[in-house]
Amino acid sequence: MDYYCSAKFTELQINVQGRLLYNCCKAYPERISVEWMEANPGRLFHTDTMLEDRALMLDNKPCASCHHGCYKYELQGLQSKRLLTKNKQQISNPDAPLKTLQIILSTDCNLACIYCSPQLSSTWVNEIEKHGSYTLNGQSIENDSWTTMWSRMKQKSRSTESKFFDLILNEIHLAKELNHIAFLGGEPLLNNQLIQSMDHVSDKTISITTGLGVSDTRLKSILEKVKGKKIKFNISAESTGKYFEFIRYGLRWSDLQNRIEMISKAGHEVKLLSVLSNLSLLDIHNFYKIYNERYPIEIQYLAGRNFLLPHVMDDKSKKACRENLAPLEDLAIPLLNSIKEDPTDHDRNNLASYLTQLASRRKLPIDFLPKHFLDWAGIDTTKIS
Ligand code: SF4
Ligand code: SF4
């Protein structure tokens, strides 16, 4: 195996709330302190761990953080960010300059997408506080003490106003070859410091990854404030109608469509990020019909919820996917590759348990899913209240 990955030499993600550094977004994080940053200005992309990891890579040896992010999936024959993005350039300097920075301002989010978690969305935290953890065979989805504490703090008193955030802005100014900054969430459009942060990085290209779980009024106000800036909006969506509203819980399908139009009409670039799962695969062909000609659609692969992986579906659903996706020709190849594997009973049972718990606590109808899919999974819709 060739362990090299250029992202290790160019990309950094900062989780402001957790004070975590990821080199890159998929890698295992390290925690960073204000004291270290004060003592090491301009070295945020060159911590001892990062330098050691890069040296290992150049020696063609695996490092633990990339095992967590990519290698372990590749060893199972699955896709990884490393394989998907391909390594275009070979960089041999562990001290290479930062090119791309991703900033997670906070985990405030009005949505609770089915693939998401309390660690990324405050709505997930609130739901688990109200209804308890999800219990599945071999795993659970629960609030940790950090996410609970964070969700109780007012946005105003949080770290974007803190010394830590000022130090990050300083690092951005010192990173002379940094050319792209991406704001991620939670929902970055809910964060009051987004506009302020963007003013500090006006000489870089900017992207915002959003689920569009904000009101029309707030979105309109943000678009007014960023008038004249060219921002790339990466919008998360992959299905339509009831599928969309189940998968991206908290947002109506019609609101998503209107908000995409608002952003597009304001002159910003739009890209759609579509997460492949068994549920989204059942409807993604309808999403492509509406948006494929208008905007680029990037496929993303989920991790950590094996029971939601695309192949965890019955044979009849797989056949329907093949037929529905056939008109997409080459575009369908990665989608169809994702359903090749046979599902295990373990994943099928966890799928049934997860969807039953989720639909019950959210009081969502689930009978829009094909009957053969529900029967195969063993989901009894009469038990969902
Ligand atoms: S191998 Fe994976 S986790 Fe490591 S830097 Fe590359 S893309 Fe990120
Ligand atoms: S919009 Fe993003 S952060 Fe919010 S729940 Fe969905 S995936 Fe999670």
274-308 pLDDT per residue, tens: 999 999 999 999 999 999 999 999 999 887 799 99
Helix-then-strand count for the chain, H and E: 18, 11
Strand bridging mode 269-276 / 297-301: parallel
The residue ranking higher by pLDDT, 78 or 222, is 222
* Together in a domain, 185 and 164: yes
201 confidence band (pLDDT: 50, 70, 90): confident
- Quick check: is 1 in a domain? no
Instruction: Tell me the CA–centroid distance for residue 315 and ligand 1, in Å.
Output: 34
Under DSSP, the state recorded for 17 is T
Summarised one tens digit per residue, pLDDT across range 72-94 is 888 987 778 898 777 667 899 99
For a mutational test of ligand 2's pocket, the pick from 113, 189, 274, i.e. the residue with the most ligand atoms closer than 8 A to its C-beta, is: 113
pLDDT at 12: 97
- DSSP assignments along 68-124, one per residue: IIIIHHHHTT---HHHHH--------TTPPP-EEEEE-----S---TT--TTT-HHH
Retrieve residue 221's tokens.
């106000």
Sign of CA dihedral 341, 342, 344, 348: positive
Same domain, 266 and 247: yes
- Same domain? For 85 and 160 the reply is no
**How far is ligand 2, taken at its centre, from the CA of residue 111, in Å?**
6
Statement: residue 95 has pLDDT above 50: yes
- Best residue among 108, 116, 123, 238 to mutate for probing ligand 2, ranked by most atoms within 8 Å of CB: 116
Domain end point (choices 72, 98, 124): 98
* Domain contains 374: yes
How many A from CA of 82 to the centre of ligand 1? 5
* pLDDT on residue 146: 66
Using one digit for the tens of pLDDT, what is the confidence trace for 301-356? Answer: 887 799 999 999 999 999 999 999 999 998 899 899 999 999 999 999 999 999 99
The pTM for the full model equals: 0.90
Host domain of residue 88: 6-98
Residues 305 and 323 in one domain: yes
209 occurs within a structural domain: yes
Q: Are residues 197 and 55 in the same domain?
A: no
> What pLDDT does residue 87 have?
65
378 in the same domain as 256: yes
| CATH number reported for the structural domain that contains residue 148 in this entry | 3.80.30.10
| d(C-alpha 251, C-alpha 223), whole Å | 19
Residue at which a domain ends, from 64, 81, 98: 98
Q: Are residues 146 and 217 in the same domain?
A: yes
Residue 301 lies in a domain: yes
Instruction: Please give all residues whose beta carbon lies within 6 A of any atom in ligand 1, as ranges.
Output: 5, 7-8, 24, 26-27, 66, 69-70, 80-82
How far does residue 228's CA lie from ligand 1's centre (Å)? 34
Specify whether 73 is located in the same domain as 108. no
C-alpha distances in Å from residue 341, one per residue of 10, 116, 220, 276: 34, 23, 44, 14
SS3 237: coil
Q: Report the alpha-carbon distance of residue 146 to residue 142 in Å, rounded.
A: 11
Is 134 found in the same domain as 188?
Answer: yes
Return the best residue to mutate from 108, 183, 236 for the ligand 2 pocket (most ligand atoms within 8 A of CB). 236
Domain count, the chain: 2
SS3 call for 181:
strand
Full DSSP string of 25-52: TTSPPEE--HHHHHHSTT-TT--HHHHH
* Atom 6, ligand 2: residue with shortest CA distance: 113
Domain shared by 19 and 163, yes or no: no
d(CA 378, CA 161): 49
> Are 78 and 132 in the same domain?
no
Determine the pLDDT at residue 160. 46
In a domain, 158, yes or no: yes
Q: Judging by beta carbons within 10 Å of its beta carbon (0-12, 13-18, 19+), is residue 342 exposed, middle or buried?
A: exposed
Q: Please say which residue of 81, 98, 115 terminates a domain.
A: 98
- pLDDT (0 to 100) of residue 302: 85
93 and 30 belong to one structural domain:
yes
